[in-house]
Amino acid sequence: MKGAMQPRPFMVPGPGGPMPPPQQFGLVETRPPLAAVLRPWFNIPGLHPSAAAASAVGKIASTYDLVEPMRFLYVHVVKARDLPGVSAAGTIDPFVEVKLGNFKGTTCVLGANHNPSWQQVFAFSATHLQAHVLEVAVKAKDLAGGDDLVGRVGFDLAEMPIRVPPDSPLAPQWYRLEAKRGDKLPRGEIMLSVWLGTQADEAFSDAWHSDAHAAAGPAAIASTRGKVYFSPKLVYLRVATIGAQDLVPLDASRPMNAVVKLQLAGQVRRTRPGAPLGTLNPIWNEEFMFVASEPFDEPLFITVEDRVAPGRDEPLGRIVLPLNAAMPRHDHFGKPVDPRWFSLARPSDDPDKKEGKFASKIQIRMSLDFGYHVLDESTYYSSDLQPSSKHTRKPSIGILELGFLGARNLIPMKGKDGRTTDAYCVAKYGPKWVRTRTILNTLNPQWNEQYTWEVFDPCTVITVVVFDNNQIGGKNGDARDESIGKVRIRLSTLETDRVYTHFYPLLALKPSGLKKTGELHLAVRFTCTAWVNMIALYGRPLLPKMHYTQPISVMQLDYLRHQAMQIVAARLSRAEPPLRREVVEYMLDVGSHMFSLRRSKANFYRITSLFYGFVATTKWYDGIRSWRNPITTVLVHMLFLILICYPELILPTIFLYMFMIGLWNYRYRPRHPPHMDTKLSHAELTHPDELDEEFDTFPTNRPADIVRMRYDRLRSVGGRVQTVVGDLATQGERAHALLSWRDPRATAIFIFLSLVVAIVLYVTPFQVLMVIGMLYLLRHPRFRSRMPSVPFNFYRRLPAKSDILL
């Protein structure tokens, strides 16, 4: 009807009124019925409208209070006994088929076994129950085609017992098998336990799931389970090659050019040629660092080689040292590591051939530095800062809890295969990695899984990534799991004991541009258990002490970080089910050190934004000195005179002003965790060619004309940077020229004026000088000139070294 009132869109009220409509790449706050949020209303009647939902969620509040409850029908198939033979030889190859409506799960087939044992759990989602009767059938495998029914057992779902942890597991019972018509069989029993539970049940993680495994083959089921992984313990190995004695050259007619090759697994380092050249007792005095992982199975191979030609080295001697021979160092106060002499074995093609006495020796100093933290992530968003040594680690200060609720509007990753997306999540904090189960063929998966981490430092970051599982139907595991989006949350930005529930935007930056690939629904809570220790951490170093007493160079840290990432990826990819290498590398940002013009622009604007306060102060000062608001200028004059007369009030005034600014900004504090900022990252309006360059391989595989164009562009940017750096150098050289007598007249003028100023400052009270200087700087515009000042003109005329630069 014309003129009728249109209905207003529904908006969830926020703390300060209605919530604004969500932005395309912004967070969306939610209020799901979680036990952690609804718990205050459990025992207070009339305060919350959904008391039934609160009581339902409260049943799993003891363990899973950051996720919504999900009901499952669990069937634990334990074993069977006294099964009758079905073949002509009287044998049977039994397996169990559990069927509920259209969902059907089967155990493995055990050949020629009348008393099989399976120990397998099946979980059917209560939201997909399509029948009222659960049927458990024991069948015999028939290779000729068709499976023979041995017997069955039926259960009415209306009479299922309910189990809620921490109750003990339900005891399985023996059930006699029945024929199709319901008659009891003379032989054959099966041991089962059937109950209704939630995802908090201990059997949840290893169970066969109807919503995740029904469409997956037996070989792919393992890759869809949720698991917890731990990174290997990494330690820095420090090796110093000092010198060698009595080396035997292979060719006495040619001067020897000895180098040392050190190899630990895939890490290879080489020294420079020993000094002096041609000597049989070379000296190197070079130190290298490697990344070792427990258990220390890989030995250190040390080979002395003679460099006979570029790219050609012939071995002179070799030694294999186990890492247990290295001295462990847990801090920098320990006993210094003494070098040791080791005998070199002559290289031989035949390892069984006995060698004669070989007197060549090499002096090595080795230590396992447990006092460092081995970096496998970037220090800007690291999740772990603890040293490798357990003796020097600090106690935990809190607990981080993360609930994977679900996702929505994911993009179809398998559209060409007639499927949508097989999504799972991976989260990393510290050495602990968690992986949720894979939800098959849906764009709106619901995981409702909760995990917990110990927190040792609040200034750390947890990383969560959504992946698409490509192992479903893959061949030999050669398909790569593709990333859908990443979320990072810094713990120091979270309020303690508060539950944050938001939809985080999942963003993918591809060569074609920025694309939103969905939204991830997370519930986060950081609980502090030691307030005093947490506050004290803000005054302590970020990294362990050895990083500051014996620092490692930036170049070497980058190399060691790359090696640590390779070790972690290789170790986790050998787990079962494996956490694939591409998943680990994406979580650890393997390619973050590569050049990106987009990141360079973002960092440049980050630097310029730091000067915003200085620019604002300059504009405010310009408004004061130009008398735009005479009342404000007069008040500033009065305040300045008060501070000059009472200088002891200057510092208290500054700190009181900072306190008032912080108190005023409290009302504008962030109300939600940080998320990926597309504007700060310059990802929305980036040129396609810049994105193509960012995702290019190293070395490049682009055509020569494109590489030439990018090289010219980089030269143009480098020319601008060169000009800015030259201008900064010019200003510094002019300041240095004041007293260097490069311009004798300018230096004479300056030192004469310095003498006059010294005399004036000595005979004139300081307060008087400050008042005169203030009145001069804040004088009215009619007493000003638009021409540059005399000191500015004098400084600009000073000489610099730019005129003698080629």
Query: How does pLDDT run across 487-508, given as a tens digit for each residue?
Result: 999 999 999 999 999 999 999 8
Burial 534-557 (b: 16+ CB within 10 A, else e): beebeeeeebbbbbeeeebeeeee
Say what the pTM is. 0.81
Residue 449 corresponds to which amino acid?
E
Answer with the residue of higher pLDDT: 368 or 250: 368
* Residue for token pair 């927190």: 455
User: Residue ranges of the alpha helices (H) in 626-701?
Assistant: 630-645, 650-665, 688-694
Task: Return the bridge partners of 466, or none.
Answer: 425, 485
Q: Quick one: pLDDT at residue 214?
A: 59
Residue 96 corresponds to which amino acid?
V
DSSP letter assigned to residue 786: S
* Residue for token pair 């990294």: 543
Q: Quick one: pLDDT at residue 6?
A: 37
Answer with the residue of higher pLDDT: 242 or 681: 242
Extract the tokens encoding 265. Answer: 């697994």
Pairing of strands 312-321, 300-309: antiparallel
Question: What confidence tier does 144 reach under pLDDT thresholds 50, 70, 90?
Answer: low
Residue 189's Cβ-side half-sphere holds a number of Cα atoms within 13 Å equal to: 8
Structure confidence by residue, pLDDT tens digits, 731-785: 988 999 899 898 999 999 999 999 998 998 888 888 888 888 888 888 888 787 7
Instruction: Please compute the mean of the pLDDT values over residues 48-74 and round it to a whole number.
Output: 60
Q: Of 126, 135, 147, 67, nearest to 105 (Cα)?
A: 135
* Residue for token pair 């999942």: 506
Q: How far is residue 144 CA from its own chain's centroid? A: 53
Residue 801 corresponds to which amino acid?
K
DSSP letter assigned to residue 24: T
Determine which of 270-274, 400-404, 638-642, 802-806 has the lowest per-residue pLDDT on average: 802-806
Residue 627 corresponds to which amino acid?
W
Q: What whole-number distance in Å separates Cα of residue 518 and Cα of residue 529?
A: 35
Asked if 113 contacts 90 with a C-beta cutoff of 8 angstroms, the reply is: no
